[in-house]
Amino acid sequence: MTLDPSVYQDLLLSLLPELVLTGWAMALLLFVAWRHQTVRDLRIAGWLTLAGLVATSVAIWWLWWNHAGVAGLAGMIAVDDFRWVADWVFLGAAALTVLISFAYLEREQLLAPEYYVLLVFGTLGMMVMAAGADLMVIFLGLELMSVAVYVLAGFDRRRARSAEAALKYFLLGAFASGFLLYGIALVYGATGTTNIGLIGAQASFMAQPSLMLLAGLALLIVGFGFKIAAVPFHMWAPDVYDGAPTPVTAFMATGVKAAAFAALFRVMIQGFANIPAWHDILWWLAVVTMIGGNLFALGQRSLKRMLAYSSVAHAGYLLVAVAAGTAAGTSAFLVYVVAYTLMSVGAFAVLSAKGRAGESDVAIDDLAGLAGRRPWLAFALAICMLSLLGFPGTAGFIGKWYILIAATSTGQNALAAILVLTSVVSAGYYLPVIMAMYMKPEPIEAAHVDVVLDRWGRTAVAAAVAGLLIFGVWPNRLFDLAKSAGDSVQPAATTTAFPP
């Protein structure tokens, strides 16, 4: 199915998933304006959200099944497999977040169904980011996502930590948006367009990239660096992840990060393929992020902060895939981000079951003896930790292996070596979690009696763990999907060039 963006119907079709989700978000907003008092209303809002996410993914599936694509010149919206797969990741992350939110919101007395509306709008923003073939569209999506997530981070408004998280995230996020916007402006000044494909075509005509273009590129990387929490732009991440309600943290660590990376991939590979300067910048960014994230995480006692820093470290691994700059790197990113979403949500879900009144106080040692009391939860968390560590048999290993192949196939052996060496460091903070659960005795009798997940939280964790194990042993289908998605993001120079 070939769509022509200049035709009205085709444009609507190519935006079908976003339109479905927008319509659903509006309807949901009306619903919660009408019913927002009781726990039951909250539940209904949650189920409606899930239904909306499913409906959207069905719409995406329909477009994917019919091989939707655009004819002719790149428009504002990309219609390719990369977008669909990325969208599925965001929707999956959002759905898992909803499942672990049910019990959490009730327990923490956060009885405001707007939570789910914000979640839907955040997801919508991510989808727009992944769809953007134009820097302006990406910026639009980024803002839509960020504003929703700023509010979500401060959703537990009675707690100072949560408010601090929201404010910090907002201030630094706004700052980052400024960088990004300035970068877009400079790139526009240098090339006369904000369309990513045309930027790529323009850049291929330049014998020497102009200073303005390079400055714009640098500012773009800084802006994205903030969003993906790459060292040295990661300062906000631990505090925000720590302060936000745990399901929101899971959503930020997976969906928000995946969306920022998806946009980064498209901009770098389609727009700046002919400017090799960014390879070096991202190379260093990846190295510093991997080393920094892992070393900082090593010093954490609190489980939630440890997971926050580990998410910085994983951003570093993903940057290795970006630095590879090939279709294999893009595919590796998609595989890795699927694995990362599953393992992070699983870990945060177990953490939310353990925590009471703010999970930031749960130290790793507080998990001591959990395996004796709650064997299945402990098993799930152990699988998530091993997957985060990149241990064979789990999806985390498959993702890491893919990134290593992508990096070494472009000759980046040093980067691959740094990746695995920093992974060894990460054993120093993932293993203590397993060690505490299985090898230390319960500090007091009945220390973990109140650690329970409700039915839906258990469903989410079970789904995550099953996914980790299945993709860890049998990733063939995931690979096929990721491969076609990775191949669909090609440098602009190979498409028809467009004279200025």
Rounded to a whole number of angstroms, the minimum distance from the CB of residue 371 to another protein is 9
3-class secondary-structure state, position 363: strand
- Residue closer to another protein by CB (options 50, 291) is 291
Contact 96, 460 (CB under 8 A): yes
Q: How far apart are CA 144 and CA 5, in angstroms?
A: 23
User: What DSSP state is assigned to residue 302?
Assistant: B
Tell me which stretch binds another protein (CB under 8 A): 43-51, 155-163, 268-276, 418-426.
Answer: 418-426
- Give the H or E element holding residue 70: strand 69-70
- Residue closer to another protein by CB (options 204, 408) is 408
Longest dimension (CA), the chain: 75
Contacts (Cβ under 8 Å, ≥6 apart) of 371: 378, 379, 437, 438
- Residue closer to another protein by CB (options 192, 411) is 411
# residues near another protein by CB under 8 A: 29
Q: How far apart are CA 267 and CA 264, in angstroms?
A: 5
Residue 379 touches another protein, criterion: CB under 8 A: no
Residue 483 touches another protein, criterion: CB under 8 A: yes
Rounded to a whole number of angstroms, the minimum distance from the CB of residue 274 to another protein is 25
Q: How far apart are CA 458 and CA 381, in angstroms?
A: 12
Rounded to a whole number of angstroms, the minimum distance from the CB of residue 297 to another protein is 15
326: amino acid identity, one letter: T
Return the number of other C-beta atoms located less than 10 Å from residue 183's C-beta: 23
Rounded to a whole number of angstroms, the minimum distance from the CB of residue 208 to another protein is 32
- Residue closer to another protein by CB (options 69, 393) is 393
Q: How far apart are CA 433 and CA 381, in angstroms?
A: 8
Contacts (Cβ under 8 Å, ≥6 apart) of 191: 198, 199, 202, 203, 213
- Give the H or E element holding residue 371: helix 370-373
Contact 374, 451 (CB under 8 A): yes
Q: What is the DSSP string of 126-152?
A: HHHHHHBSBHHHHHHHHHHHHHHHHHH
User: Contact with another protein (CB under 8 A): which of 302, 326, 408, 495?
Assistant: 408
- Residue closer to another protein by CB (options 26, 421) is 421
User: Contact with another protein (CB under 8 A): which of 360, 423, 484, 490?
Assistant: 423
Rounded to a whole number of angstroms, the minimum distance from the CB of residue 483 to another protein is 7
- Residue closer to another protein by CB (options 39, 414) is 414
| Structural tokens at position 136 | 């302006």
Rounded to a whole number of angstroms, the minimum distance from the CB of residue 401 to another protein is 8
The conformational region for residue 142 under phi > 0 = left, psi -120 to 50 = alpha, else beta, is alpha
User: Contact with another protein (CB under 8 A): which of 215, 281, 363, 427?
Assistant: 427
User: Contact with another protein (CB under 8 A): which of 112, 405, 462, 497?
Assistant: 405
Tell me which stretch binds another protein (CB under 8 A): 44-52, 65-73, 253-261, 408-416.
Answer: 408-416
- Residue closer to another protein by CB (options 184, 303) is 303
What is the per-residue burial (b if ≥16 Cβ within 10 Å, else e) of 374-407? beebbbbbbbbbbbbbbbeebbbbbbbbbbbebb
Q: How far apart are CA 161 and CA 302, in angstroms?
A: 15
- Residue closer to another protein by CB (options 413, 496) is 413
Contacts (Cβ under 8 Å, ≥6 apart) of 79: 3, 14, 63, 68, 69, 70
Site string for another protein, 438-477 (x = CB under 8 A): xxx----------------------------------xx-
Rounded to a whole number of angstroms, the minimum distance from the CB of residue 351 to another protein is 22
Contact 248, 241 (CB under 8 A): no
228: amino acid identity, one letter: I
Site string for another protein, 189-228 (x = CB under 8 A): ----------------------------------------
User: Contact with another protein (CB under 8 A): which of 72, 189, 192, 428?
Assistant: 428
Residue 393 touches another protein, criterion: CB under 8 A: yes
Tell me which stretch binds another protein (CB under 8 A): 22-30, 140-148, 406-414, 462-470.
Answer: 406-414
Tell me which stretch binds another protein (CB under 8 A): 34-42, 210-218, 283-291, 434-442.
Answer: 434-442
Rounded to a whole number of angstroms, the minimum distance from the CB of residue 382 to another protein is 9
User: Contact with another protein (CB under 8 A): which of 117, 367, 385, 416?
Assistant: 416
- Residue closer to another protein by CB (options 279, 440) is 440
Contacts (Cβ under 8 Å, ≥6 apart) of 294: 309, 310, 313, 316, 422, 423, 425, 426
Tell me which stretch binds another protein (CB under 8 A): 7-15, 32-40, 108-116, 414-422.
Answer: 414-422
Rounded to a whole number of angstroms, the minimum distance from the CB of residue 462 to another protein is 17
The site for another protein (CB under 8 A) is made up of: 386, 391-393, 401, 404-405, 408-409, 413, 416-417, 420-421, 423-424, 427-428, 431-432, 435, 438-440, 475-476, 479-480, 483
